[in-house]
């Protein structure tokens, strides 16, 4: 996401041209190399992965092709972590509540402008905030890339998705 800059997370996030990327139709997380992201998933233990995400099968209409969608594990340790982090941070508490209510990170309004304008709630030097943002943006990128082949024009409609136990 840092365009190859050798910078810490805070500097990288603050210097990313968010508005330009958004106006060009390419949110900054879409430049995450998905092949590297898949390798990162392999480095995360199954128990840690499962504490963060749940996999759901999805089917697209009219193609009837099936895929997998990553959603939040609303009963996992990661949501517990967000809630405990939110005990002293009302914005993180709102985020944790939205994740729990929607079951996903992708539906939650964690906009870059909120983060850049509220440096008290979103201290980009805090490793906990960095972790929260990394998981959020990795999930958005996964959602953008995982089923890309099935979502070619004309854009199919998500027909169904259900929880994989």
The pTM for the full model equals: 0.81
**The pair of three-digit structure tokens given for residue 86, joined into one six-digit string:** 């939110």
Given a contact cutoff of 8 angstroms between Cβ atoms, the answer to whether 57 and 66 are in contact is yes
Distance of CA 31 to the CA centre of its chain: 13
3-state SS record for 74-104? CCCHHHHHHHHHHCCCHHHHHHHHHHHHHCC
Question: Order of strands across the sheet with 66-72?
Answer: 66-72, 53-61, 157-161
What is the average pLDDT value for the chain, to the nearest integer?
82
What pLDDT does 88 receive? Answer: 95
Say what the pLDDT of residue 66 is. Answer: 75
pLDDT at 5: 61
Query: For the chain, which ranges sit under pLDDT 50?
Result: 153-154, 156, 165
pLDDT at 165: 46
Tens digit of pLDDT for each residue in 139-154? 988 988 887 766 654 4
């Amino acid at each position: 996401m840092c365009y190859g800059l050798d910078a810490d997370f805070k500097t990288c996030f603050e210097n990313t041209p968010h508005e330009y990327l958004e106006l060009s139709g390419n949110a900054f997380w879409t430049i995450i190399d998905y092949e590297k992201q898949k390798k990162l998933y392999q480095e995360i233990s199954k128990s840690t992965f499962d504490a963060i995400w749940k996999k759901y099968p999805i089917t697209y209409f009219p193609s009837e092709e099936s895929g997998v969608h990553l959603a939040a594990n609303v009963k996992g340790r990661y949501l517990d972590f967000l809630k405990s982090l939110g005990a002293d941070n009302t914005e993180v508490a709102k985020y944790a509540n939205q994740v729990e209510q929607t079951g996903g990170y992708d539906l939650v309004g964690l906009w870059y402008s909120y983060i850049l304008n509220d440096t008290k709630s979103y201290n980009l030097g805090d490793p906990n905030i960095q972790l929260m943002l990394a998981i959020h943006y990795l999930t958005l990128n996964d959602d953008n890339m995982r089923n890309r082949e099935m979502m070619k024009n004309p854009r199919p409609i998500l027909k169904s998705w259900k929880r994989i136990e």
